[in-house]
């Protein structure tokens, strides 16, 4: 009787569409960031592209939050929906922060670690983009979903390694722990830390999805 009652109730299918929109915005922002670092030119123009993507991502997040409050039946726990929407939006916000720092710094030579970290950000974004549609049927897709969340965690661990390597490079360039660092070195370190925070947010999304998976299998 309960299952029949639930089947007759209206469902909010827009959640999956909105999450897919969010994931697409993450990819758009990550692609623009990688191009910003690869090309190294028109930094302000490229930042504006990411800024516009961030605005659209905010709108999708607000739509999800509104849907949570007006929907009688939701696909996941309401707190999980809200947390997932917020943390996905955080990824785009953090990418915008990285892009703002790059634009404000002006043209500079980006380190190998910075290039690798932007590659990792884009890889994680694409994994999340492929993952979201599979949430329609968690029991059937549990193996693929778990593999994907593990991949996001692996990319975050790699970003930790790259950050440590990048900081070590900067210390070596400055002449050691007690040597003064230049403004450029301090700026590079700050940008790398922001890049790593993007992948931290990606891992947070993966952790939320892992929690959702546990609740549905």
Write down the domain spans for the chain: 11-216
Q: Among 204, 69, 84, which residue's Cα sits nearest to residue 132? A: 84
pLDDT of residue 175: 72
pLDDT of residue 20: 94
Q: Among 189, 131, 127, 188, which residue's Cα sits nearest to residue 156? A: 127
From first to last of the 217 residues of the chain, give the pLDDT tens digit.
Answer: 334 334 433 444 588 889 999 999 999 999 999 999 999 899 999 999 999 999 999 999 999 888 887 766 777 778 888 999 999 999 999 999 999 999 999 999 999 999 999 999 999 999 999 999 999 899 999 999 999 999 999 999 999 999 999 999 888 887 767 667 788 888 999 999 999 999 999 999 999 999 999 988 7
Distance CA 103, CA 61 (A): 26
pLDDT of residue 74: 72
pLDDT of residue 77: 79
CATH architecture label of 11-216: Up-down Bundle (1.20)
């Amino acid at each position: 009787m309960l299952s029949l009652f639930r089947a007759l109730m209206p469902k909010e299918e827009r959640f999956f569409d909105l999450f897919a929109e969010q994931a697409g915005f993450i990819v758009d922002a990550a692609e623009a960031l990688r191009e910003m670092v690869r090309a190294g030119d028109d930094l302000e123009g490229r930042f504006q592209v990411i800024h516009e993507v961030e605005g659209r991502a905010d709108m999708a997040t607000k739509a999800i939050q509104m849907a949570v409050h007006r929907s009688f039946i939701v696909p996941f726990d309401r707190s999980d929906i809200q947390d997932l929407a917020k943390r996905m939006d955080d990824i785009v916000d953090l990418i915008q922060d990285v892009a703002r720092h790059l634009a404000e710094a002006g043209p500079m030579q980006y380190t190998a670690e910075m290039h690798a970290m932007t590659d990792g950000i884009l890889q994680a974004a694409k994994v999340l983009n492929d993952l979201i549609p599979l949430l329609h049927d968690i029991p059937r897709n549990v193996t693929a979903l778990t593999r994907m969340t593990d991949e996001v965690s692996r990319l975050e661990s790699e970003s930790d390694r790259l950050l440590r390597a990048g900081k070590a490079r900067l210390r070596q360039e400055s002449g050691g722990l007690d040597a003064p660092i230049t403004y450029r070195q301090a700026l590079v370190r700050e940008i790398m830390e922001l890049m790593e925070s993007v992948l931290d947010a990606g891992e947070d999304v993966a952790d939320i999805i892992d929690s959702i998976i546990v609740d549905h299998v």
